[in-house]
Amino acid sequence: MQTQQASSPKSEAQWIRQIAKRDRGAFEQLYRAYERKLYRYLLGIVRSPESAEELTGDVMIEVWKNASRYRGHAKPSTWLFGIAHNKAIDVLRRRQPQVAELHAVAGAPDPRPGPEAAAINEGDRHEVAAALDALSAEHRSVLDLAFNNGCSQAEIAQIVGCPINTVKSRMFYAKQQLRQALERRGFRREIS
């Protein structure tokens, strides 16, 4: 599925209501709108294309089975990413009981523009992608949800199942880890 349809939360909510009535056309529309987004989000967490692909299918099957439970209190994207996040975390738990420590990165915030800015200014996509891959699953998911999927703090908190303050601290540490990953990858030039 290469193409994605432009859709609004309202039309997506309508599709989910139709899916609850076993409407395969609505399911296919929702699938087309979210397949790539969910796959990329899951890939960022589980780091295996095969697992991410299998999980994407599982998420959409979950949507088919449980569409009638969607009450419309959250945006459809929040509901879908919430299912995806839970499934991905389950896989990580089964695969590796020791989930990466959240507080591995310490130190006070450094407000100066870091090497990530330098890398971005150079447009070095490859380096940034590799630095993003070096982030822990929790930090990567917060960055993905905020910047790739336009989620608010409250929506991210709902998706990953934690308080808003935790989302803020994860964002802070994600930025700091990204900075360190870029430094490890050789971006040691002088920062003004």
Between 90 and 129, how does the x/- string for binding to another protein read (CB under 8 A)? -x--xxxx-----------x-xxxx-xx-xxx-x-xx-xx
Q: Does 75 bind another protein (CB under 8 A)?
A: no
- C-beta of 184: minimal distance to another protein in Å? 12
**Which residues, 6 or more positions from 142, have their beta carbon under 8 angstroms from its beta carbon?**
156, 160, 167, 170, 171, 174
SS3 (DSSP) at 51: helix
- C-beta of 72: minimal distance to another protein in Å? 19
Q: Do the beta carbons of residue 131 and residue 178 sit within 8 Å?
A: yes
Burial class of residue 58, CB neighbours in 10 A (0-12, 13-18, 19+): middle
Between 147 and 166, how does the x/- string for binding to another protein read (CB under 8 A)? xx-xxxx-x-----------
**Which stretch in 7-15, 70-78, 98-106, 169-177 sits in contact with another protein by CB under 8 A?**
169-177
- 147 φ, ψ (degrees, to nearest 5): -95, -35
Residue nearer to another protein on the CB measure, 12 or 27: 27
Total residues contacting another protein by CB under 8 A comes to 62
Residue nearer to another protein on the CB measure, 123 or 163: 123
Nearest to residue 142, comparing CAs of 128, 129, 130, 132?
132
Q: CA–CA separation, 36 vs 5, rounded Å? A: 11
Q: Does 189 bind another protein (CB under 8 A)?
A: no
Q: Does 9 bind another protein (CB under 8 A)?
A: no
- Angle at the Cα of 54 (from 56 to 15), degrees rounded to 5? 30
E-assigned strand segments in 71-166: none
Question: Where does this chain bind another protein (CB under 8 A)?
Answer: 1-2, 22, 24, 27-28, 31, 35-36, 39-40, 48-54, 56-57, 60-61, 64-65, 91, 94-97, 109, 111-114, 116-117, 119-121, 123, 125-126, 128-130, 132, 143-144, 146-148, 150-153, 155, 168, 171-172, 175, 178, 186
